[in-house]
Amino acid sequence: MEEKMFCFQCQETAKGTGCTVSGVCGKGPELAALQDLLIHESRSLASVVYKRVQMGEEIPEDIAPMLSCNLFTTITNANFDEDAIRERIKLTLNRKAELIGNSENGEAFEKESLWDGEGDYVEKGRTVGVLSRENENIRSLTELVTYGLKGISAYMKHAGVLGKRDRDTEEFLVRALALTLGNRLDEKQLTDLVLETGKFGVQVMALLDNANVSAYGNPKISKVKTGVGKNPGILVSGHDLKDLEMLLEQSRGSGVDIYTHSEMLPAHYYPYFEKYSNFIGNYGGAWWEQKKDFASFNGAILMTTNCIVPPSDSYKERLYTTGTAGYPGCRHIPGAAGEEKDFSCIIEHAKKLPAPTEIENSEITGGFAHSQVIKLADKIVEAVKKGKIKKFVVMAGCDGRSPKREYYTEFARRLPKDTVILTAGCAKYRYIKMNLGEIDGIPRVLDAGQCNDSYSLAVTALKLKEIFGLSDINDLPVIYNIAWYEQKAVIVLLALLYLGIRNIRLGPTHPAFLSSEVGRVLKEKFGLKEITTPEKDMEYYFATV
């Protein structure tokens, strides 16, 4: 049967090999082709810009924001709206035409950069997707770089809305996209580019950390309520803290309470948001539980980024998107980076809706970003020296629907009582509500924040290395067991590899986009391993302890 589409960028890809009929995520073949075209045209625009850079020109100011927005839009579960993707393709083509038109040396641009947008976008998209690269390893390495760049783009965009940019990372984004247009690089060059992507992954996460801390203060230990109040509410999901800030400001005194869902939970850890008395707590669990959670929430819902699950009719008309997120038929709140968005329509809508139905009434403890952990360093070091903490287990990453993810709940449950879990990202929902207890007042699950706050875990590890006077980060009593789902987890993984961390376990399944040869190299070079069963992995890590 002829394939209608091809996408293997996320963990839930069909049969663990690729979505070929329609996406498990709900992405149809036309949307897939449009996303492929948007990526291709982003490479093409980057290629034109890179050529001009090689001729001694500067990268125009608007280029990196445009490219990062394009890439972020194509991340799994971010934007299902074909019109929104068409609009981005058009903008990108126009900008490319402008740059080529203004160039004194138009013929310097290669054929691949020159498509002018004539013809059908979907048809064109079908010719430039993942399978347009025939060599399996070249394809694998190119996609690995591209998914890393998508993660970088997401974090770049979040830092950008808080007024922080990093020219080096922007230059890298342009260069890496340009170099992955067509088949310009060989396997060795692409492997080097993969490692460099990890380097900029660290840099962009540091940038975002700095942007968040400068805007909202250092995260601190917080107890977040999971019960509900009597007022109508708005449930905010995704990762964009600036959107949350604007909504909190505009909903002050409106009688509408604001709750977080999934990856927005860590917003409660920032001191800045304490001043909003209508910022009530967290409602529900990880992104994939939204059908259930959004239905019982009863109020309006705001998706600021991924992960959107195609909505049920029971709540679709109360679901709003903003930023790079989009879903056909759901209202989109516009506004570019740096602009004040107008959230009045969602606030007015929420006022007319019933209060949330309570689904739990407890607390989640978090806020263990690097500055907070460093404040606890004396206590932690003492617990390690006394043998009360034997190992730290980094379990950052994503959650998802796969039943195989039960592994993480079971792994956390089986961990010896003298271990402490360091987490970040939505992976935490697999165990953060279990009461795993404390060691000398230190909770056994330390949540640093969103997936990008995996950077915090790396800073914590580097600090411990310094305190214990070790020369190699791998000599620390730290285990890395990372769960992946989408492309932000890819950049987190590449960043950890760049920092020299070895023997990371990755699950719940092997990424389909890693060819056997690329998988073998990662295994050999970095000791990357797949998870097995909680019993076997537990034995592997703790048999000798």
Q: According to the binding rule CB under 6 A, does residue 23 interact with ligand SF4? A: yes
Answer for which of 2, 4, 7, 323 binds ligand SF4 (CB under 6 A) is 7
Q: Interface with ligand SF4 by CB under 6 A: which range of 12-20, 118-126, 190-198, 328-336?
A: 12-20
Residues that bind ligand FSO (CB under 6 A): 239, 262-263, 287, 306-307, 398, 425-426, 450-451, 485-486, 488-489
End-to-end CA distance of the chain: 53
**Which of ligand FSO, ligand SF4, none interacts with 25 (beta carbon under 5 to 8 A by kind)?**
ligand SF4
Nearer to ligand SF4, 23 or 219 (CB): 23
**Which of ligand FSO, ligand SF4, none interacts with 485 (beta carbon under 5 to 8 A by kind)?**
ligand FSO
Q: According to the binding rule CB under 6 A, does residue 24 interact with ligand SF4? A: yes
Structure tokens at 544: 């000798």
DSSP one-letter code for 19: B
Nearer to ligand FSO, 113 or 282 (CB): 282
Q: According to the binding rule CB under 6 A, does residue 9 interact with ligand SF4? A: yes
Least distance between ligand SF4 and beta carbon 29 (Å): 9
Nearer to ligand FSO, 72 or 498 (CB): 72
Can you name the residues that pair with 363 across neighbouring β-strands? 225
Helix (H) or strand (E) holding 31: helix 29-54
Kindly report the number of other CB atoms within 10 A of residue 522's CB atom. 21
Q: Interface with ligand SF4 by CB under 6 A: which range of 20-28, 96-104, 436-444, 447-455?
A: 20-28
**Which of ligand SF4, ligand FSO, none interacts with 263 (beta carbon under 5 to 8 A by kind)?**
ligand FSO
Residue 175 and residue 183: Cα distance in Å, rounded? 14
What is the total residue count of the chain? 545
Q: According to the binding rule CB under 6 A, does residue 76 interact with ligand SF4? A: yes
Q: According to the binding rule CB under 6 A, does residue 240 interact with ligand SF4? A: no
Helix (H) or strand (E) holding 365: strand 363-366
3-state SS track over 132-164: HCCCHHHHHHHHHHHHHHHHHHHHHHHHHHCCC
Concatenated DSSP letters of 224-266: EE-S--SS-EEEEESS-HHHHHHHHHHHTTTT-EEEE-GGGGG
Helix (H) or strand (E) holding 521: helix 516-526
Least distance between ligand SF4 and beta carbon 19 (Å): 3
Nearer to ligand SF4, 78 or 415 (CB): 78
The CA radius of gyration of the chain, in Å to the nearest whole number, is 23
Q: According to the binding rule CB under 6 A, does residue 27 interact with ligand SF4? A: yes
| Interacting residue ranges for ligand SF4, rule: CB under 6 A | 7-10, 12-13, 19, 23-25, 27, 76
